[in-house]
């Protein structure tokens, strides 16, 4: 951790924050503090270079124009890529998955180069995916069902160096007919789940904190969080 404080980089909330995805950084901060870990959120906007010094990074969803802005900014200031290469955990939501890929195609048919943190490409689906998504996690350390809200036109195809985050049992996920959601490559995780995703999936939040701190975490007894999960999983 940076000078004994867990620094959570909230990357480009001014353009990549659809559906309250900035709340993921707040969830990380609060769950760390509840365990006595000093934690702060560092907003990183289009006016700022992206530093390589954060302990966790989060990015949210956006539309085509905002994606272009984010792609150009992170290409110019590759601090996040440098941190990820060292094993720093990163959470990418929805459009951020597409920006992290090799390329994505906009709804107008324009192909835009991504930053290649993920071995994937994204093209528009015939039908927009909207609604609840639920799945079974496919990475070590996660045992609870994952749940979120998806709203995306793009469908992402994973290459051999990328693995899915979860097997979808309800909803679309990465694309129609593939029955998986998200991507895992090194220390970088992505999902199409909004919600914010970490408010609805505290185990995933703790996975990121544990990776950032390098230590296991004691469980938290938060009945309201469990109630939220049960309500979402019933819908």
The bridge status of strand 146-158 relative to strand 120-137 is: antiparallel
Residue the block writes with tokens 């939040």: 205
154 strand-pairing partners: 124
Q: How far apart are CA 141 and CA 134, in angstroms?
A: 18
- Write phi, then psi, for 213 (nearest 5 degrees): -90, -20
54 part of the active site: no
Q: Respond yes or no: is residue 102 known to be catalytic.
A: no
**Identified catalytic residue from 54, 73, 152, 194:** 194
Exactly one of 94, 102, 152, 207 is catalytic; which is it? Answer: 94
Distance of CA 167 to the CA centre of its chain: 16
> What is the C-alpha separation between 84 and 8, in angstroms, rounded?
14
* Annotated binding-site residue? 128: yes
Give the Cα separation of 22 and 184 in Å (integer): 20
DSSP annotation string for 38-94: -EEEEEE-TTS---S--SEEEE-B--HHHHHHHHHHHHHSTHHHHHHHTT--EEEET
Residues in the annotated binding site = 128
Residues in the annotated binding site for substrate = 128
Catalytic residues: 94, 194
């Amino acid at each position: 951790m940076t000078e004994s404080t867990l620094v959570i980089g909230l990357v480009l909330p001014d353009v990549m924050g659809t559906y309250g995805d900035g709340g993921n950084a707040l969830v990380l901060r609060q769950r760390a503090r509840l365990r006595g870990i000093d934690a702060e959120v560092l907003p990183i906007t289009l006016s700022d270079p992206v530093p390589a010094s954060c302990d966790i990074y989060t990015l949210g969803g956006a539309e085509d124009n905002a994606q272009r802005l984010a792609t150009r900014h992170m290409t110019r200031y590759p601090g996040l890529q440098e941190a990820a290469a060292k094993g720093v955990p990163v959470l990418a939501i929805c459009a951020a998955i597409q920006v992290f890929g090799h390329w994505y195609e906009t709804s107008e048919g324009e192909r835009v180069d991504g930053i290649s943190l993920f071995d994937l490409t994204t093209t528009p689906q015939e039908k927009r995916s909207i609604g609840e998504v639920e799945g079974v996690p496919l990475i070590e350390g996660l045992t609870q069902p994952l749940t979120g809200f998806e709203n995306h036109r793009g469908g992402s195809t994973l290459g051999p160096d990328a693995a899915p985050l979860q097997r979808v049992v309800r909803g679309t996920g990465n694309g129609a007919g593939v029955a998986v959601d998200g991507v895992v490559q090194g220390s970088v995780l992505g999902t199409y789940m909004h919600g914010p995703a970490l408010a609805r999936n505290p185990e995933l939040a703790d996975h990121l904190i544990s990776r950032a701190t390098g230590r296991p975490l004691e469980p938290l007894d938060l009945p309201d969080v469990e109630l939220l999960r049960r309500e979402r999983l019933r819908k």
